[in-house]
């Protein structure tokens, strides 16, 4: 089956990201496809490229990136929710006159339409909220 | 109080459970509904629990100029989102009646809520 | 059949009532994260209307030291079982 996940909790603030990553690993192990993970609400902070968790904690950012590298899962971040919260890729940073950027590939800033597409186009959408 | 006997089906049901101003859940939920409608999907809204306060008349901006969601509600019709439902028990619990609201939404009871959820392909809760 | 997923405990949030109200006669409820507190013998009465349709995620129980304290009415599933529940459902609805 084709799955999509919606993550709405900030990393390390709630269990949402951990639960989503565990669920992702389990569904992939059962032979399903994980087409995309969509980040909305405070979930957009999962895309913060400067996250530096202590070494003895799970590295959520690395785990998201591994889903993309190993399974081609798209990591889509709601652009409206992200910009408000200071999460800008290089292009948006330039457009807004910012000296640095906080989001990079494989995370993509994208519109909410992608969430609706994923929700209606995939066989299952599972939401993890704070 | 009149309950719809057969709640309409549709593509996307957005359940709004949070009141205005206290968090971004309501605004972000409404944004998702507007985008789904703009993409041509048949969208229904269910105002549930404290989400029914989104419908109260007389809301304004916050002291720092936070926009609130009242203006967004006025745009629903423009996006062809006319399938609006509200949690009748929650509304009564908060001491409001349907005629005090900014928009007309059909009251639903427990059985109708379950049918509403079953009748939509995608259900998003905010 | 719809799989409803609840991550709040009955002690901290009344959202479980809306989750129950939204459930059809065949629907299932899975308790995850803090929601697993609802599976405790002392709390499971809130879900007694569900009969055999109440599930709880084993690893969220285990990490909280609550495995083995579950009510007999609760079916404990591992994360693989979570995926199976989503496979068997037409769709999922998350309550938080």
List pLDDT tens digits, range C10-34: 999 999 999 999 999 999 999 999 9
Active site residues of A: 78
What is the count of structural domains for chain C?
1
Domains assigned to chain A: 2-128 (3.40.1260.10)
Reported ipTM: 0.97
| CA–CA separation, A95 and B80 (whole Å) | 33
Pairing of strands B106-108, B83-87: parallel
Of B11, B24, B35, the CB nearest to A41: B24
The residues on A that touch C, with CB distances below 8 Å, are 1, 3, 15-16, 19, 22-23, 25-27, 29-30, 32, 124-130
| CA–CA separation, A83 and A93 (whole Å) | 9
For residues B4-13, average pLDDT: 76
Domain span at C79: 2-95
Q: Which of chain A's residues have a Cβ under 8 Å away from the Cβ of B36? A: 116
CA B113 to chain C, closest CA, distance in angstroms equals 5
pTM tops 0.80, yes or no: yes
Q: Which of chain C's residues have a Cβ under 8 Å away from the Cβ of A26? A: 79-80, 82-83
For residues B43-59, average pLDDT: 97
Q: Is the pLDDT of residue B1 over 80?
A: no
CA B119 to chain C, closest CA, distance in angstroms equals 11
Low-confidence ranges of chain C (pLDDT < 70): none
Percent of chain C having pLDDT more than 90?
100
Check CB contact of C23 with chain B, cutoff 8 Å: yes
| CA–CA separation, C2 and C75 (whole Å) | 17
- Containing C68, the helix (H) or strand (E) segment is none
Percent of chain A having pLDDT more than 70?
100
Tokens in use for C88?
A: 């068997």
Do the Cβ atoms of C82 and A125 come within 8 Å? no
Q: What residue segments make up the domains of chain B, in order of their start? A: 10-125
E-strand spans in chain B?
10-16, 43-47, 83-87, 106-108, 120-125
Q: Which of chain A's residues have a Cβ under 8 Å away from the Cβ of C82? A: 23, 26
Q: Indicate which CATH number applies to the domain containing C35.
A: 3.40.1260.10
Which numeric CATH code is attached to B10-125?
Answer: 3.40.1260.10
């Amino acid at each position: 089956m084709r799955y999509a996940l919606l993550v709405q909790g900030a990393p390390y603030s709630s269990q949402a990201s951990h639960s989503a990553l565990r669920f992702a690993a389990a569904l992939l192990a059962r032979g399903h496809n994980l087409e995309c993970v969509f980040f909305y609400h405070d979930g957009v902070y999962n895309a913060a490229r400067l996250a530096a968790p202590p070494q003895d904690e799970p590295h959520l950012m690395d785990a998201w990136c591994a889903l993309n590298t190993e399974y081609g899962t798209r990591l889509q971040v709601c652009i409206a929710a992200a910009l408000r919260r200071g999460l800008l890729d290089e292009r948006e940073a330039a457009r807004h006159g910012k000296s640095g950027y906080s989001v990079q590939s494989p995370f993509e800033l994208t519109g909410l339409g992608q969430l609706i597409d994923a929700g209606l186009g995939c066989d299952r959408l599972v939401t993890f909220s704070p | 109080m009149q309950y719809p006997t057969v709640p309409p089906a549709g593509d996307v049901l957005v359940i709004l459970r949070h009141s205005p101003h206290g968090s971004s859940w309501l605004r972000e939920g409404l944004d998702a509904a507007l985008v789904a409608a703009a993409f041509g999907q048949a969208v229904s809204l269910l105002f549930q629990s404290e989400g029914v306060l989104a419908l109260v008349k007389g809301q304004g901006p916050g002291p720092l100029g936070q926009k609130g969601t009242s203006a967004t509600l006025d745009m629903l019709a423009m996006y062809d989102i006319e399938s609006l439902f509200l949690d009748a028990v929650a509304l009564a619990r908060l001491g409001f009646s349907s005629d005090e609201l900014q928009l007309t939404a059909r009251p639903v009871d427990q059985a109708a809520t379950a049918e509403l959820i079953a009748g939509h392909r995608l259900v998003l809760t905010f | 059949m719809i799989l409803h997923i609840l991550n709040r405990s009955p002690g901290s949030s009344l959202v479980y009532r809306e989750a129950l109200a939204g459930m059809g006669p065949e629907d299932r409820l899975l308790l995850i994260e803090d929601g697993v507190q609802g599976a405790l013998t002392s709390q499971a009465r809130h879900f007694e209307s569900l009969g055999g349709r109440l599930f709880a995620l084993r690893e969220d129980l285990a990490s909280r030291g609550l495995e083995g304290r579950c009510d007999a009415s609760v079916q404990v599933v591992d994360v693989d079982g979570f995926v199976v529940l989503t496979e068997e459902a037409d769709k999922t609805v998350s309550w938080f």
